Structure 1
Amino acid sequence: MEGLKVSDANLVVYVHPSKSKKVSEAILRELGSLLFKFSETFDGVLLAYDVNILSEVAKILPGIHPYFGVRLKAKLLLFYPKPDMILEGKVVKLGQQSIHVIVLGFSSAIITEEDIREEFIYKVKHGQEVFASTSYKQHKIKVGTIIRFLVKSFDEEILHVSGSLVPANTGCTDWLDKNLEDWSHTNRSTKKQRESEGRGEMEEHDKVTVDGKTFSLNTEHQIKKSKRRRSEDS
């Protein structure tokens, strides 16, 4: 899953003088207070840490309460979802207009009706709500399903993700993992067929280069098709 990274950090933790005899305990408590909160310094949500105190010698800071700073190295596990990343989460609730997901057990995500591709149709079968694919009978999303979805945005304050199931490589992870190879083969065959048909229809047209790739264009519609194919391939 994307959205996770390990970062090496050089930190200074400020400890109250009353904790001078329990420095290690004070440092762990301070770092623990940062867990599952977004940090601008780390550019992510701190999930876990491994600490190595560099020196027991601390620098005393002037002031009414003379805190002292302790230098340490830490290896941090961070959650940093960015737009267009792919995340995985467990469906905890769904309705006709939305799918609610929990990511890594703490971050909530929602996928609204406009971000659920038309392939999925909402149904109630045997009293259970489900989004079923009209293209693949076995591809279903219900409460308890682990899904793979695209990040649209991330609210750092409340740790809330807005997601999308529009891309073809999103949906139930179990189904995707079992059928991705077949899907990729079919997608490549379809792409080659479209490219072959396109070459047969094109004669001499203007050319445009986008991101280092040259495309032959004949109409505005053809431009949109090319962009859509690039999106699917990525």
Structure 2
Amino acid sequence: MEGLSVSDANLVVYLHPSTGNNVHKAILRELSSMLLRYNDTFEGIVLAYEFNILDKDAKILPGVHPYFTVRLKAKLLLYSPKPDMLVEGKVVKVTQESIHVIILGFLSAVIIDRDIREEFQYKSKHGKQLFVSRSHRRHVIKVGTMIRLLVKSVDEETLYIYGSLLPAHTGNIIWLDKQMEDTSLTDGSAKRRKGNDGESVMQEPSRISAETVSVNNDHHVKKSKKHKTQ
């Protein structure tokens, strides 16, 4: 999925003296406070991290509360959704006016009716709300469906995504992937048929090439004539 990246970072963590007995735990607490939040420095949401402590000795800062600093080398897994990116999520709610989605288990996204292409028709069937394609009845979007959507905008403070299903390559992921697979198989069969037609056309030039080789090989020609006399 687009928007995921790994960033190498040099970090400085400020720790209270009371955490001196367990520095590793204190570092984990500080780094964990960054998780699932948008970070302006890294321009993304921190999903995971791993780190190594660079210095064995910490530096004590002067002041009323003498905090000490620890330098780290960290790897951060970031998620940075941007406009026009394709993202994937699970549908959690469907109404006539909107489709609500959860991305990566924590990011909320909404697709309002004007951003749902006209191909999809809202229906209420057996107490369930869904959108069904007028062109392909198997292309259905309902609660629990994994969909691919286009990002229109992102609210970084609330971690809210406004999405769109207007492009043709958005919608139910399983249906879209199956369509792509069927198209690939059809294209492959067409190429094989075209290749077979080409082979039949090239049979005559192929024989000419073989005869030329045998003529140029004097030993082979003489041996063939002797065998023919016998």
TM-score tier by shorter-chain length is: 0.7 to 0.9
Q: Measure how far apart 1:103 and its partner are.
A: 0.5
Q: Measure how far apart 1:68 and its partner are.
A: 1.0
Instruction: Report SS of the residue matched to 1:26.
Output: helix
Structure 2 counterpart of 1:23: 23
Deviation per residue, 1:40-73 (Å, 9 max, x gap): 0111111110111111211111211111110111
Structure 1 counterpart of 2:207: none
Amino acid aligned to 2:105: G
Amino acid aligned to 2:91: V
Amino acid aligned to 2:109: A
- CA distance 1:184–1:96, shift in 2 (3 Å): farther
CA distance in 2, matches of 1:184, 1:82: 30
CA distance in 1, matches of 2:124, 2:40: 43
Structure 2 counterpart of 1:6: 6
Structure 2 counterpart of 1:79: 79
Residues 121-140 of structure 1 aligned to structure 2 (within 5 Å):
121-140=121-140
Amino acid aligned to 2:154: F
- CA distance 1:110–1:183, shift in 2 (3 Å): farther
Q: Which TM-score applies when normalising by structure 2? A: 0.78
- CA distance 1:63–1:38, shift in 2 (3 Å): same
Residues 153-164 of structure 1 aligned to structure 2 (within 5 Å):
153-164=153-164
Matched, 1:58 2:58: yes
Structure 2 counterpart of 1:146: 146
Q: Measure how far apart 1:181 and its partner are.
A: 4.0
Q: Measure how far apart 1:173 and its partner are.
A: 0.6
Deviation per residue, 1:58-117 (Å, 9 max, x gap): 111121111111011111111110000111000000100100000011010000001001
CA distance in 2, matches of 1:131, 1:110: 15
Instruction: Report SS of the residue matched to 1:30.
Output: helix
Amino acid aligned to 2:38: F
Amino acid aligned to 1:140: V
Give the CA RMSD over aligned residues: 1.6
Matched, 1:46 2:46: yes
Of Structure 1 and Structure 2, the greater helix share is in 2
CA distance in 1, matches of 2:64, 2:151: 47
Q: Measure how far apart 1:185 and its partner are.
A: 9.2
CA distance in 1, matches of 2:138, 2:35: 39
Structure 1 counterpart of 2:100: 100
CA distance in 1, matches of 2:123, 2:30: 48
Matched, 1:115 2:98: no
**Structure 1 gap ranges (5+):** 187-234
Amino acid aligned to 2:177: D
CA distance in 2, matches of 1:61, 1:185: 66
Instruction: Report SS of the residue matched to 2:174.
Output: helix
Amino acid aligned to 1:172: N
Amino acid aligned to 1:90: K
Deviation per residue, 1:136-181 (Å, 9 max, x gap): 1110000000000000111111100000001111000111111124
CA distance in 1, matches of 2:91, 2:56: 47
